[in-house]
Structure 1
Amino acid sequence: MDTTRNTALEAWMKAHGHSSSSLAEAVNQAQERLTGRPGGHDGSSVRAWKAGRVRWPKSATRRALEDVTGLPATALGFVPRRRTTPSPAAQREDPDMKRRTLVGGVAAAAAAAAAPGSAAPRRIGMSDVDRLRHRFAEIIASDHRYGGQHPIEQRAAALAAEALNLQNAGSATQRVRGSLYACAASFRSSAMWAAIDGGRYDEAVKHMREAQALAEMSGDQAIKFRIWSHAGTMYRHMGRPADALAANDVARGLHITRRDPMFASLGLARQGAIQGTAQDRTGTRRAFDQAHDAMYRADPDGCRPVWMRAFYDEAELHSLALSAYLSLGDHPTAEFHAHRCLAALRPYMARSRAIATTRLAHAQLAQGDADAATATAMKVADDAATRHPRVSRMLQEFGAALRATAPGSATVQTWTDHVAAWRTTV
C-alpha cells in the first residue's frame, strides 16, 4: 500500500498549532455536532492520516475535518479511492516541471497548452476546474487566519486572471466554461473581501465590478449572492447604509435564498447589521430573529460552496449581531452576542476571534468596566493586533476611549505598556 506522507495535513496542523491529539479532539467534537454521535479518534488516528496509512477517511470523518479546517478533504492532502490512473505520458513528465506546475497553479498549464508548436489544442476539463477550486479553498483559509492583508488580495486577483487565461488555453464544454467564469468570479470576490477587510475601498469597488461581470457570465447563483452580499458589507463599513441595504437586497432577492434557508439566513443577518448602522432598532431585532429562524430551518448537511461552509454558522450570526448592537449603543446586548460568538467560533477562525474579542472590549468599556475591558483587549493575538488593518484600527479606538474614560489610571498604563510590547513584534 502507498504510504506517502500527507504533507498538506501536516502543514495545516503546524500552521494552526495542532498536535495529533488536539486535532483528534476537535474532529470528534465536530463529528458530534454534525451527526449527533461523538467521533472515536485519538492521536494515533491523526498520525495514520499524516503518515498516509489512511488516504481517504470515512465520510463522517471527512465532513468533520472540513468543518474544523474550513478546507475540502482533497485540499488537506487526502486522496479519493477512485482516482484516474495517470497516463504513461504524465508518468514520464519531468519532475521539475511537475513541481513548477504545482507551485504556480494552473497558469503554467494554460500557457503550455497555448504555446506555439503544440500538436493539438488542449482539452480543458473539470479536473482543471477542481484544481482552481482547491486554490480557492486555500485563499479562504488564508482569509480566516490573516484577513484584510494586501498579499491575499493580490494573490486572489492573480488567480482570477489564471482562471480567465485558462478559457483561451484550449477547447472546453459550455459547463466547463461556466465553471471557469465562476472560479474567476470567486477569486475576484475574495480579492474584493480582502480589500474591504483592509479598508481599501477604492480597490474593493474595482474588484466588485469585475466580479459582478464574471458572475453574470457564469450564471452561478451562489457566487452572485456572495458578491452582492459583500457589496452590502462594503457600503456598511463606508457609512452608506442606504446603498448597503440596496446591495444586500439584490443578494436576498436571488432564488438561491428561497432554495436554501442558510443563504436566506446570511442575507437577513447582514441586513440586521446594516440596520444597526442605520439606527433602526426594530428592524435590527426583527432581522436577527428571522435570521435565526432561517438557520434552524436549513439542512445542516446541505451542499454549499466552500466559502459558505467555512464561515457562516451560529458564531458568525452572533458576530453580526454584536456589530449591530454596538452601532445601536446597546452595549449589554452586544456583550451577550460577543460571548456567544466567541464560544461557538471554530478553531481556525483567527481573524473572526480577534474582531469579536476587540468588539467585546469596546462593549465592556462602554458599560464602565475599564479593567475587564482592558483584560479582554489584551487577549487579542499579537499578529492580528499589529497586522490586521481593521483590528488594529479598532484597538487604537479602544485605547483612545480608555484614556478618555480613565485618564491617568493604572489601567491606562497597563494598556500603554501592552501596546508598546505589541509594537516590538512588528
Structure 2
Amino acid sequence: MPQIPGSLWERPDMLAALRARDIGQTFRLLRQYAGLSQTTIGSLTGTSQGKISEIMNGRQQVTMFEVIERIADGLEMPDIARMALGLAPRTPVQVPIPRRDDSQGFAPLTTPPSLDPVQGPREGEVMRDPKRDDRPTMSASIPNIQLRAWRNERQLTRAEMAEWINQTPVGRSERLSVDEERIREWEIGDVAWPSLPFRLALTQATGRPPEQLGFSPDRRTHTGLIEGQILPPDALRAEAELYGTMELAQQLQASDLGNGTLEALAEAVDLLCRAYPVVPAATLRDRTRKRLTQITRLLSGRVTLDQHRELLVITGWLAALLGCVHYDLGEREEAETARRAAYEMGRQVGHGELMGWAYEMSAWFALVEGRYEDVVKSARMGQAAAGTSSAMVQLTLQEARGLARIGDRREADRALTRGADALALLPIPEHPDHHFVFDHAKWMFYAATAYTWLEDNDRAEEHARETIQMHTRPDGTSNAPMRVADAHLDLGIVHARRGDLDAAVSQGMAAFDIDRRSLTDLVHRAGDLDRLLLQRYRREALAQEFHERYVTARFALGTRRPELLD
C-alpha cells in the first residue's frame, strides 16, 4: 500500500474536510499531499476510478455510512481521522486494569509523582465546589449532552474517555491527568469552557472543536434551566387569573377580538402547557377542554385572515395538550381525535412545529402500544415537517427509543447524537417546564430509558441517577415527577438484572408513589419491571408485592379510575 504520512491526517484542512464528511476534498488532499492517483484511491477503497473522479470533481456526494466506513478502512485512517468522520476508533482505548486489593476492593489508579500532571482547575476553567453536598439535589447547570452523546455513541466509559484524552499529543506534552470525575463535571455542566490545554486535547481525541462538544465560553453555569419565573404549580392559577381578566372575558363572550386579546390567549395557553408536568392529568384535561371550547367559538367571529391563522395555531396547541392528557389518563380514542385536530390546525396554516408535535404524539402512542417500527416511522415523518424546533429534537429522541426497543444499538446511539446536535442549535429555553419545549435535562431522561432497553446497565444507571438528581429540589420534591418516576423504573430494572431484588422493588415502588403521573406511561414502564421480577424472582414475596401494585395500576388504567392508586 502507498504510504500516507501520518501527519497528513492531522492537517487542519484535512480534519475540516473529514468533519464535514467532504469525501471529495479528502481525496483531493490525498492526491495533493500524498501523491495518490484516482486509480490508487479507487483500488484502496474498492471503488471504480470513474466514480472516484466524479467524487473528486463534486459531481457525486458520499453520504452512506457504510461507504464512508469502507473508505476509512481502505485508507487505513488513524483514529483521529476516523473520529473526525464520526466513526468509532479502530484501536480500543487501553485502560490499565487496576489491581485488586482484597481488603478494600479495587485500588485506584495512580500517576507517578514525577510526572506532575495537570489535575486541578486551570485558569479560565470554572469547577464545582468540592465542599458541596453530594446528596441528590436539583442542579441549575445545563447538562453537556453533546459531549455525553459523543462518548455514548462510541461506547466509552468516563474512565476510558479520560485515558483517551490523556494519551493525545497535547495530553502527553501537557501531562494532563483527566479522570472520571473531570469527565463527569464536564458532562453535568459544571464546567462551561475548559481551559486551553483541555480544549486542545479534547479536539485531538474527538476530532471536534469544543463548540461541537457542547462547550461554550458564553454559557453560564447557572441559568435557571430547571425553574422558570413561575413555578408549574402556580401556572394553572396564573392562567385562570389571566383568562378571568375583564377585557379577555368580554372579548370572548362577544366573539370578537380586540387589541391584545390574541397575545393574552397565547400566554394563557403557554401557562396551561407549563402546568403539564405537575398538575393532575384530570384537572388539566378539564381546564384545557373548557378553554378549547371557548376559544373555538372565536373562529366563527369577526376576525381578519391573520387573526384567523393565529387562532388556528393557538387552538392547535390546545388540542395537542389535550391529546397528551387524554393519553395520560388512558383515554386512547379521545387522545387520537385531539392529535388529529392538532395536526389539521398545523397543516392548514403551514405550522411545521405543530405538525411535528402531532407526529411525535403518534410515535409516543406507538411506543407505549408496542408498535416499535411505527415509532421510528412516525418520528422520521415528523422530522421532515418540524424544522429547527423542540419538536425536531423530541422526534429524534423518540426515534432513538423506538430503535432501542427494536434492539438496534448503533442507530439508536446515532439518533441520540443527532438529537443532542439538534438541541444545540436551539436557544436555552426560558420555560423548560413547558410541555412542548425540549430542554437538555429531557435528553438525559430519554437516554436513560433507551439504554435500559438496550440492556446497557451501567449507562442506563448513570443517566437515570443524574435525571433524578437534576429534578430533585432540596426539600425532596420534584419539578418533573413523571421523568423521575421513569428514572426510578429504569433503576429498578437495572437492579433486578444485577440480582438486587430489594433495590429493584424499592425503586419500582418509588415510581408508584409519585403523585403526578402519566398512568399510561407508568403502566407501560412498570410492566417491564414486573415481567423481569416474575421471570427471575417469582417465588419471592417482594416480587409479588410489586406485582400486586402493578396489577392495581393496570386495573385503574383499564377502568379509567386513576384514584385507585391514591
Structure 1 residue matching 2:479: 3-state secondary structure:
coil
Partner of 1:292: 420
Deviation at 1:150, TM superposition (A): 4.0
The alignment status of 1:332 with 2:458, answered yes or no, reads yes
Q: CA deviation at 1:188?
A: 0.4
2:250 paired residue among 106, 109, 125 = 109
Instruction: Determine if contact 1:27/1:65 at 8 Å carries over to the other structure.
Output: no
Query: Which residue of 2 is the match for residue 230 of structure 1?
Result: 361
Distance (Å, rounded) in 2 between the aligned partners of 1:182 and 1:405: 50
Given the superposition, is the C-alpha separation of residues 340 and 131 from structure 1 closer, same or farther in structure 2, using an over 3 Å criterion? Answer: same
For residue 136 of structure 1, the aligned residue among 254, 269, 274 is: 269
Matched-pair contact (CA < 8 Å) for 1:241–1:275: yes
Describe the SS at the equivalent of 1:378: helix
Give the match for residue 185 of structure 1: 316
Offset at 1:322?
Answer: 2.4
Percent identity between matched residues is: 14
Asked if 1:344 corresponds to 2:486, the answer is: no
Return the letter of the residue paired with 1:237: V
What are the residue-to-residue correspondences of 1:208-357 with 2, within 5 Å? 208-254=339-385, 256-257=387-388, 263-300=391-428, 306-309=434-437, 312-345=438-471, 347-357=478-488
CA 1:410–1:70 in structure 2 vs 1: closer, same or farther (change >3 Å)?
farther
Asked whether the 8 Å contact 1:335–1:364 carries over to 2, the reply is no
How far residue 211 of structure 1 moved from its aligned partner, in angstroms, is: 1.1
Deviates more, 1:157-166 or 1:383-392: 383-392
Structure 1 segment 33-52 matched on structure 2, within 5 A: none
**Paired letter, 2:299:** Q
Q: Which has the larger radius of gyration?
A: 2
Distance 1:316 1:178 in 2: 31
- Deviations 1:199-258 (Å, cap 9, x if unpaired)? 43322221121111111233333222222222222222222233322322232113622x
1:147-166 correspondence runs (5 A): 149-166=281-298
2:396 touches 2:416 (CA, 8 Å); kept in 1? yes
In structure 2, distance between residues paired with 1:167 and 1:222 = 21
How far residue 414 of structure 1 moved from its aligned partner, in angstroms, is: 7.1
Residue 325 to residue 169, structure 1, CA distance change in 2 (3 Å): same
The match for 2:327 is 196
Q: 1:370 to 1:99 in 2, by over 3 A?
A: closer
Q: Structure 2, unaligned stretches of length 5 or more?
A: 1-136, 143-188, 193-221, 473-477, 554-562
Report matched runs for 1:407-426 at 5 Å.
Answer: 407-409=538-540, 411-412=542-543, 426=566
Task: Evaluate the alpha carbon distance shift between residue 199 and residue 366 of structure 1 in structure 2; reply closer, same or farther with a 3 A threshold.
Answer: farther
Q: Measured at CA, do residues 168 and 124 of structure 1 come closer, stay the same or move farther in structure 2, by a change above 3 Å?
A: farther
Residues of 1 paired with 2:387 and 2:230: CA distance? 23
Distance 1:166 1:415, change over 3 A: same
For the Cα contact (< 8 Å) 2:275–2:434, is it kept in 1?
no
Q: 1:236 to 1:103 in 2, by over 3 A?
A: farther
The equivalent residue for 1:168 is 300
What RMSD in Å do the two structures reach over aligned CA positions? 4.4
> 1:132/1:325 Cα in 2 relative to 1: closer, same or farther (>3 Å)?
same
1:364–1:370 contact (8 Å) kept in structure 2 = yes
Post-superposition offset of 1:349: 0.9
Contact 1:27 1:64 in 2 (8 A): no
Deviations 1:80-114 (A, max 9, x none): xxxxxxxxxxxxxxxxxx989618996x5355314
Label 1:35 to 1:298 Cα distance change in 2 as closer, same or farther (>3 A): farther
Q: TM-score, normalised by structure 2?
A: 0.51
Q: Pick from 351, 362, 367: which aligns with 2:498?
A: 367
Residue 306 (structure 1) shift: 4.5
More helix by share: 1
Offset at residue 287 of structure 1 (A): 0.8
**CA distance in 1: counterparts of 2:324 and 2:533, whole angstroms:** 30
Q: Which runs of 5+ in 1 are unaligned?
A: 1-24, 37-62, 80-97, 115-121
1:244/1:404 Cα in 2 relative to 1: closer, same or farther (>3 Å)? closer
178 and 306 in structure 1: CA distance in 2 versus 1, 3 angstrom threshold: farther
- Other structure's SS at 2:276 match: helix
Alignment-mate amino acid for residue 145 of structure 1: V
The one-letter code matched in structure 2 to 1:341 is T
The alpha-carbon deviation at position 324 of structure 1 amounts to: 2.3
**C-alpha distance in 2, partners of 1:236/1:176?**
37
Report the residue type matching 1:339 in the other structure. R
CA separation of 1:146/1:362 partners in 2, compared to 1, >3 Å: closer, same or farther? farther
When residues 176 and 72 of structure 1 are mapped into structure 2, their CA distance, relative to the original with a 3 A threshold, is farther
**Distance in 2 of aligned mates of 1:304 and 1:355:** 18
- Cα distance in structure 2, aligned partners of 1:206 and 1:283: 32
Assess if the C-alpha contact under 8 Å between 1:110 and 1:166 holds in 2. no
